[in-house]
Structure 1
Amino acid sequence: MKKDSTEDRTLGKVHPFNLFYRVMKITTLLLFCTFCAAASTVNSQTAKVTIKKSNVSLLEVLNEIENQTNFLFIYSNNINVKRPVSVNVSNKKVESVLSRLFPEGNVTFTLEGTHIVLTQTDTASQAVAQQKGEEKKVTGIITDENGEPIIGATVKVKGGSVGTITDMDGKFTLSATSKSQLEISYIGYKTQTVTVSTDEMLQIRLVVDTQLLDEVVVVGYGTTSKKKTTSAISQVKADELGKVPVPNITQSLAGRAPGLIVQQSGGGINSKASISIRGGGTPLYVINDVICEERDFQNLNPEDIEQMSVLKDASATAVYGARAANGIIMVRTKNGQTGKINVEYNFNYTLSQPANLADKVDSHTAAFYLNRGLQYDGRTPQYTDEDLNLFKNGTDPKGHPNTDWQKVTMRNFAPETRHNLSFTGGSETMKIYTGLGYYDQESIYRTNAHNMQRYNFRTNVETYLKAIGLRVAASVDAYLLNTKEPATTNGRGYYYVWSHIQNKRPMEAAYNPAGQIYSGTNDNPLLDISNEGGYYTAKENSVRGNLNMEWSVPWVEGLKLKVIGSYTLANDQYKQWAKTATSYDWEGSPSTTGKPNLNKWVNHHTNFNTQFLADYSRTFANVHTVGALFGLEASGSDYNNLWAARKNFIFDVDQMGAGPSSTMENSSGEGVGERRAAFIGRVKYDYNAKYMAELNFRHDGSDYFPKGNRWGTFFSGSLAWTISDENFWHNLGADKIFDQFKFRMSYGEIGQDFLDQNGDNVADRYTYFTSYNLNQRSAYIGREWVPGFSEGALVSPDMTWYTTKDFNVGIDFASFNSRLSGSIDYFAKATTGYLATPSNVGYTAPLGKNLPVVKSNGESIRRGVEFVLQWKDRIGDWAYGVSANMTLYDNRWNINPNEAETQLKNPYKRGTQVSPYSGNYYKNLGYYQNYEDILNSPKRNGSANLMAGDLKYYDFNGDGKIDSDDQIRMGAGGKPRANYGFAFDLNYKGWFFNMLWQGATNYNFYVDAILQGGNSNYLPVIYEFQTDIWAPDNTGSLYPRQHASAGYNGNNNFVSSDFWLVDAHYLRLKNMSIGYDFKHKLLKSATWLSKFALSLSGYNLLTFSPANNYGFDPEAGRGDGYTYPISRVYTVSLTIGF
Structure 2
Amino acid sequence: MDDSMKKALGECVVFRKTPRLIRGMSLLLCLLAISLPEVQADPWKQKRSMETENTALGEKSVLSSMNMHGTARSVAKEIQQQKTVSGRIVDEQGDPVIGANVVEKGTTNGTVTDADGRFSLSVASNCVLHVSYIGYLDEEVQISGRTSVNITLREDTKSLEEVVVVAYGTSKRSVFTGSAASVDHTKLQSPNASFDKSLQGQVAGLQVMSASGQPGSTSSFRIRGSGSLNASNEPLYVVDGVPISANTKYSKLAEDNSNSSSILATLNPQDIESVTVLKDASAASLYGSRAANGVVLITTKNGKLGKASVSFHTQFGLASVPKAYDMMSSAEFYRMKWLSHYEQKREAGESPEKAAVSANAFAQGAITFNPYNVDQPIDANGNLVNGARIIVDTDWQDEIFKTALTQDYNVNVHGGNEKTNYFFSAGYYDQEGVTPSALYKRYSGKGTISTDVASWLKAGMNITFSHSIQHSEVGGGAGASPLYNALLFPNGVPVYLTDRDGNPILDSSGNKQYNFTNPTSLDFNPIAIPQMDLNRSKNYRFLASAFLDFKLYEGLNFKTVFAPDYIHYSESRYWNKEHGNGPAYNGRADRYHTTDLVYTFTNTLNYTNRFAERHLLNAMAGFEYWQSDYERVEAGATTFPLNNMYELSSGASALSPQSKSTKETLISYFGRVEYTYSDRYNFSVSLRSDGSSIFGVDNKWGTFWSAGASWRIEQEDLMKSFEWLDQLKLRLSYGTSGNNQGLDRYQSLGLWDSSSDYIYGTSSGTGHTQLANPHLKWEKQAMFNVGVDFRFLNRFYGSAEYFYKSSKDLLYKYPLAASNGFESIMMNMAKVANYGVELTLGAHVLRDSPLKWNIDFNLSAIRDEIKDLVGDDQIISNTKKIWSKGYSQYEFYMPTWAGVNPVNGDPQWVKIDASGNRGTTNVYSQATYEKQGRATPDFYGGLSTNLSYRGFDLSVLFAYSWGGLVYDALYAQIMHDGNQAGAQMHKDELMAWTSSNTNTNVPKYVNNNTNASDGISTRFLYDATNIKLKNVTLSYTLPSGLKPVSDVLKGARIFVSADNLFTWFKDDWKGYSDIDIFGIGGYNTLTAIPVPTTLTMGFNLTF
TM tier relative to shorter chain: 0.7 to 0.9
1:260 aligned to 206, 209, 219, which one?
206
Q: Report the counterpart of residue 14 of structure 1 in structure 2.
A: none
2:182 aligned to 235, 241, 262, which one?
235
State how far apart, in whole Å, the 2-side matches of 1:436 and 1:494 are: 41
What amino acid maps onto 1:409 in structure 2? Answer: E
- 1:644 offset after TM fit, Å? 1.2
Tell me the alpha carbon deviations over residues 1067-1123 of structure 1, each in whole angstroms, 9 at most, x when there is no partner. Answer: 111111112123458557522112222211111111111466414334254288542
**Using a 3 Å threshold, how does the CA distance of structure 1 residues 977 and 519 change in structure 2: closer, same or farther?**
same
User: 972-981 vs 276-285, which deviates more?
Assistant: 972-981
**Using a 3 Å threshold, how does the CA distance of structure 1 residues 289 and 1022 change in structure 2: closer, same or farther?**
same
- 1:615 offset after TM fit, Å? 0.7
Whether 2:349 is the aligned partner of 1:349: answer no
State how far apart, in whole Å, the 2-side matches of 1:730 and 1:183 are: 28
- 1:309 offset after TM fit, Å? 0.5
Correspondences of 1:738-757 after superposition (within 5 Å): 738-753=725-740
Whether 2:769 is the aligned partner of 1:778: answer no
Q: Report the counterpart of residue 1005 of structure 2 in structure 1.
A: 1043
Partner SS state of residue 213, structure 1: coil
State how far apart, in whole Å, the 1-side matches of 2:150 and 2:1048 are: 26
Partner SS state of residue 706, structure 1: coil
Q: Report the counterpart of residue 571 of structure 1 in structure 2.
A: 568
User: 324-333 vs 366-375, which deviates more?
Assistant: 366-375
**Using a 3 Å threshold, how does the CA distance of structure 1 residues 369 and 186 change in structure 2: closer, same or farther?**
same
2:776 aligned to 791, 799, 818, which one?
799
2:1055 aligned to 1095, 1098, 1112, which one?
1095
**Using a 3 Å threshold, how does the CA distance of structure 1 residues 702 and 112 change in structure 2: closer, same or farther?**
closer
- 1:927 offset after TM fit, Å? 4.4
User: 310-319 vs 544-553, which deviates more?
Assistant: 544-553
**How many residues end up aligned between the 2 structures?**
1000
- 1:400 offset after TM fit, Å? 6.7
Q: Report the counterpart of residue 894 of structure 2 in structure 1.
A: 920
What amino acid maps onto 1:246 in structure 2? Answer: N
1:64 aligned to 16, 25, 28, which one?
16
Does structure 2 conserve the Cα–Cα contact (< 8 Å) formed by 1:1112 and 1:1119? no
The normalised TM-score by structure 2 is 0.81
Gaps of 5+ in 2: 1-5, 35-48, 227-232, 247-261, 348-354, 378-387, 498-504, 507-511, 1077-1081
- 1:253 offset after TM fit, Å? 1.3
Whether 2:578 is the aligned partner of 1:618: answer no
Q: Report the counterpart of residue 939 of structure 1 in structure 2.
A: none
Tell me the alpha carbon deviations over residues 390-444 of structure 1, each in whole angstroms, 9 at most, x when there is no partner. Answer: 9787578999752324267335411121111111112222211011111112233
Whether 2:707 is the aligned partner of 1:717: answer yes
Correspondences of 1:1023-1102 after superposition (within 5 Å): 1023-1029=986-992, 1039-1045=1001-1007, 1047=1009, 1050-1051=1011-1012, 1053-1080=1013-1040, 1086-1102=1046-1062
Correspondences of 1:12-51 after superposition (within 5 Å): none
**Using a 3 Å threshold, how does the CA distance of structure 1 residues 484 and 387 change in structure 2: closer, same or farther?**
closer
- 1:614 offset after TM fit, Å? 0.4
Does structure 1 conserve the Cα–Cα contact (< 8 Å) formed by 2:980 and 2:1009? no
Q: Report the counterpart of residue 254 of structure 2 in structure 1.
A: none
Q: Report the counterpart of residue 1126 of structure 1 in structure 2.
A: 1091
Whether 2:496 is the aligned partner of 1:511: answer yes
State how far apart, in whole Å, the 1-side matches of 2:27 and 2:317 are: 50
State how far apart, in whole Å, the 2-side matches of 1:358 and 1:602 are: 38
What amino acid maps onto 1:1135 in structure 2? Answer: N
**Using a 3 Å threshold, how does the CA distance of structure 1 residues 60 and 728 change in structure 2: closer, same or farther?**
closer
Does structure 1 conserve the Cα–Cα contact (< 8 Å) formed by 2:394 and 2:493? no
Partner SS state of residue 1110, structure 1: coil
User: 1084-1093 vs 281-290, which deviates more?
Assistant: 1084-1093
Whether 2:191 is the aligned partner of 1:245: answer yes
State how far apart, in whole Å, the 1-side matches of 2:143 and 2:196 are: 55
State how far apart, in whole Å, the 1-side matches of 2:1008 and 2:638 are: 40
Tell me the alpha carbon deviations over residues 300-353 of structure 1, each in whole angstroms, 9 at most, x when there is no partner. Answer: 111111121100011111111111110000011111112221111111111111
State how far apart, in whole Å, the 2-side matches of 1:1103 and 1:1110 are: 12
What amino acid maps onto 1:1104 in structure 2? Answer: W
Q: Report the counterpart of residue 941 of structure 2 in structure 1.
A: 980
State how far apart, in whole Å, the 2-side matches of 1:976 and 1:270 are: 27
**Using a 3 Å threshold, how does the CA distance of structure 1 residues 866 and 701 change in structure 2: closer, same or farther?**
same
State how far apart, in whole Å, the 2-side matches of 1:1013 and 1:498 are: 18
State how far apart, in whole Å, the 2-side matches of 1:647 and 1:205 are: 67
**Using a 3 Å threshold, how does the CA distance of structure 1 residues 181 and 727 change in structure 2: closer, same or farther?**
farther
What amino acid maps onto 2:836 in structure 1? Answer: G
Does structure 2 conserve the Cα–Cα contact (< 8 Å) formed by 1:830 and 1:862? yes
Does structure 2 conserve the Cα–Cα contact (< 8 Å) formed by 1:366 and 1:1019? no
- 1:701 offset after TM fit, Å? 0.8
**Using a 3 Å threshold, how does the CA distance of structure 1 residues 461 and 717 change in structure 2: closer, same or farther?**
same
Q: Report the counterpart of residue 187 of structure 1 in structure 2.
A: 134
- 1:637 offset after TM fit, Å? 0.1
Tell me the alpha carbon deviations over residues 967-1014 of structure 1, each in whole angstroms, 9 at most, x when there is no partner. Answer: 343444555463211111111111111111112233323243323224
State how far apart, in whole Å, the 1-side matches of 2:644 and 2:875 are: 54
1:599 aligned to 569, 585, 590, which one?
590
State how far apart, in whole Å, the 1-side matches of 2:1035 and 2:50 are: 42
What amino acid maps onto 1:810 in structure 2? Answer: G
Correspondences of 1:371-386 after superposition (within 5 Å): 371-373=338-340, 379=347, 383=359
- 1:279 offset after TM fit, Å? 1.8
Partner SS state of residue 537, structure 1: strand
Q: Report the counterpart of residue 831 of structure 1 in structure 2.
A: 807
Does structure 2 conserve the Cα–Cα contact (< 8 Å) formed by 1:527 and 1:580? no
**Using a 3 Å threshold, how does the CA distance of structure 1 residues 73 and 263 change in structure 2: closer, same or farther?**
farther
Does structure 2 conserve the Cα–Cα contact (< 8 Å) formed by 1:151 and 1:166? yes
Tell me the alpha carbon deviations over residues 874-897 of structure 1, each in whole angstroms, 9 at most, x when there is no partner. Answer: 252112211111222111111123
Tell me the alpha carbon deviations over residues 776-828 of structure 1, each in whole angstroms, 9 at most, x when there is no partner. Answer: 143363xxx411112344423333334211111111111222x1111111111
Measured on the aligned residues, the alpha-carbon RMSD in Å equals 4.4
What amino acid maps onto 2:831 in structure 1? Answer: E
State how far apart, in whole Å, the 2-side matches of 1:908 and 1:288 are: 40
1:812 aligned to 784, 789, 792, which one?
789
Partner SS state of residue 283, structure 2: helix
Q: Report the counterpart of residue 463 of structure 1 in structure 2.
A: 451
State how far apart, in whole Å, the 1-side matches of 2:994 and 2:677 are: 74
Does structure 1 conserve the Cα–Cα contact (< 8 Å) formed by 2:813 and 2:825? yes
Q: Report the counterpart of residue 351 of structure 2 in structure 1.
A: none
Q: Report the counterpart of residue 497 of structure 1 in structure 2.
A: 482
Does structure 1 conserve the Cα–Cα contact (< 8 Å) formed by 2:411 and 2:426? yes
State how far apart, in whole Å, the 1-side matches of 2:275 and 2:791 are: 22
Does structure 2 conserve the Cα–Cα contact (< 8 Å) formed by 1:135 and 1:177? no
Q: Report the counterpart of residue 325 of structure 1 in structure 2.
A: 292
**Using a 3 Å threshold, how does the CA distance of structure 1 residues 643 and 72 change in structure 2: closer, same or farther?**
farther
Correspondences of 1:781-930 after superposition (within 5 Å): 781=761, 785-817=762-794, 819-838=795-814, 840=815, 844=817, 847-849=820-822, 853-856=826-829, 858-872=830-844, 873-897=846-870, 899-900=872-873, 910=884, 912-924=886-898, 926-929=899-902
Q: Report the counterpart of residue 749 of structure 2 in structure 1.
A: 769
What amino acid maps onto 1:548 in structure 2? Answer: F
What amino acid maps onto 2:191 in structure 1? Answer: P
State how far apart, in whole Å, the 2-side matches of 1:921 and 1:267 are: 31
Tell me the alpha carbon deviations over residues 590-645 of structure 1, each in whole angstroms, 9 at most, x when there is no partner. Answer: x9896211211111110010111101112223331111100111101011111111
**Using a 3 Å threshold, how does the CA distance of structure 1 residues 633 and 1033 change in structure 2: closer, same or farther?**
same
Q: Report the counterpart of residue 273 of structure 2 in structure 1.
A: 306
Partner SS state of residue 237, structure 2: strand
**Using a 3 Å threshold, how does the CA distance of structure 1 residues 487 and 833 change in structure 2: closer, same or farther?**
closer
State how far apart, in whole Å, the 2-side matches of 1:200 and 1:510 are: 69
The normalised TM-score by structure 1 is 0.79
**Using a 3 Å threshold, how does the CA distance of structure 1 residues 520 and 175 change in structure 2: closer, same or farther?**
closer
What amino acid maps onto 1:496 in structure 2? Answer: S
Q: Report the counterpart of residue 258 of structure 2 in structure 1.
A: none
State how far apart, in whole Å, the 1-side matches of 2:706 and 2:910 are: 52
**Using a 3 Å threshold, how does the CA distance of structure 1 residues 117 and 990 change in structure 2: closer, same or farther?**
farther
